[in-house]
Amino acid sequence: MKAQIAFSPSFSYFFYPSKEEMTPLNFPLQRLTSVKDGVEALGVPHTEVGEILVNGISVDFNYLLKDRDKACILPFSPPVDVTKATLLRPVPLERPSFVVDINVARLGSLLRLMGLDTVYNHAWRDKDIAAISKDEGRIVITRDRSLLKRKIITYGRLIREERPWAQLFEVIKFYNLKSWLFPFSRCSFCNETLRPVQKEDVLDRLEPLTRLFYNEFTECPKCGKVYWSGSHKQRIKERILVMLEKSQQLKAEDDYTSDNIF
Ligand SMILES: [Zn+2]
């Protein structure tokens, strides 16, 4: 008994050598196997799958493969809206928020810099990250395929890019987060929402030049870090604008399908 599982070419990232065209793979059925188990046994985490067709009919992850079934595994078609239910993920999220692992910790800081609710702790193990994702309805962001194969994770994304700013662009594009961005509204260390603070209340925490040249400040209520609008903020703003303009151009050119975003 065997089923055939065919992956869309978008999944070539998961196979070595990477292929332009994917041929259907034979999958022996020695016991009851869900299509989700079959997909993961072949190396693709379930979080990367957008739709599954078996013999041309859309099914959920629990579908049990039968002899001579032909399963077609399709990717997401970005942008992905996690607040909408789908057959594979019937319980949507209230909003996009994230938990990141140690391999993308710098991306985590950038997500918080953009005002996106993102938690991270270097002491968390894979099982902790999976539990937080489930309990708090957070999307797991990682470069670790095995983490994303954990059963209790519903929403997750394997990051393809290597550099943190490119990774940030990748996440914003994939989930279309532009309307969720509030740069400089969160502490980039502990994820707390910053609050405006009077200069006289933070004078003792400012360097002499900062004290001299800046007048508007925000403060993290958790760790006490003080933020101000300096030249670094201007540079970051310019970088964000370039990133968003680039994403706009991609959309305008209709060059934005799941097969060519990476
Ligand atoms: Zn803080």
Beta carbons within 8 Å of 71's beta carbon, 6+ residues apart: 3, 4, 5, 6, 35, 38, 52, 53, 54, 65
Centre of ligand 1 from the C-alpha of residue 228, in Å: 14
Distance (Å, whole) CA 89 – CA 242: 33
Cα(155) to centroid of ligand 1, in Å? 26
CA 99 to centroid of chain Cα atoms:
9
186 CA to centre of ligand 1 in angstroms: 8
User: For the chain, which residues make up each domain, given as ranges?
Assistant: 2-74, 78-174, 183-242
Alpha carbon distances (Å) from 213 to 191, 231, 236: 27, 11, 19
Distance, CA of 233 to CA of 243 (rounded, Å): 15
Task: Decide if 38 contacts 61 (C-beta within 8 A).
Answer: no
CA of 93 to the centre of ligand 1 (A): 25
Q: Distance from the CA of 115 to the center of ligand 1, in angstroms?
A: 13
Pick the CATH number of 2-74 from 3.10.20.30, 3.30.565.10, 3.40.50.150, 3.40.50.300: 3.10.20.30
Please give the sequence-ordered ranges of beta strands (E in DSSP) within the chain, or none if there are none: 2-7, 25-28, 51-54, 57-59, 70-74, 98-100, 118-119, 139-142, 156-158, 195-197, 217-219, 226-228
Cα of 148 vs centre of ligand 1, distance in Å, is 28
Where residue 257 falls (left for φ over 0; alpha for ψ -120 to 50; beta otherwise) is: beta
Q: How many Å lie between the centroid of ligand 1 and the Cα of residue 222?
A: 5
pLDDT along the chain (262 residues), means of 10: 93 78 85 94 96 97 96 95 97 97 96 96 97 98 97 97 94 93 92 94 86 89 89 81 73 37 23
Token pair 């395929």: residue: 145
Distance 219 CA to ligand 1 centre (A): 8
Cα 193 to averaged position of ligand 1 atoms, centre (Å): 8
Alpha carbon distance 78, 175 (integer Å): 7
The first and second tokens of residue 133, run together, are: 């994702």
**What is the C-alpha to C-alpha distance for residues 163 and 186, in angstroms, rounded to an integer?**
22
Residue 262 has what pLDDT? 21
Q: Look at residue 250 in the predicted model and tell me its pLDDT.
A: 57
Residue 71's closest CA among 18, 20, 34? 34
Q: What is the pLDDT of residue 65?
A: 97
Q: How far apart are CA 173 and CA 168, in angstroms?
A: 9
Q: In what order do the strands lie in the sheet with 217-219?
A: 195-197, 217-219, 226-228
Q: Is there a shared CATH topology between the 2-74 domain and the 78-174 domain?
A: no
**The pLDDT value given to residue 254:** 37
Given the candidates 1.25.10, 3.90.550, 3.90.1720, 3.40.50, the CATH classification of the domain at 78-174 is 3.40.50
pLDDT value of position 19: 66
Token pair 């942008």 in the structure block, residue: 79
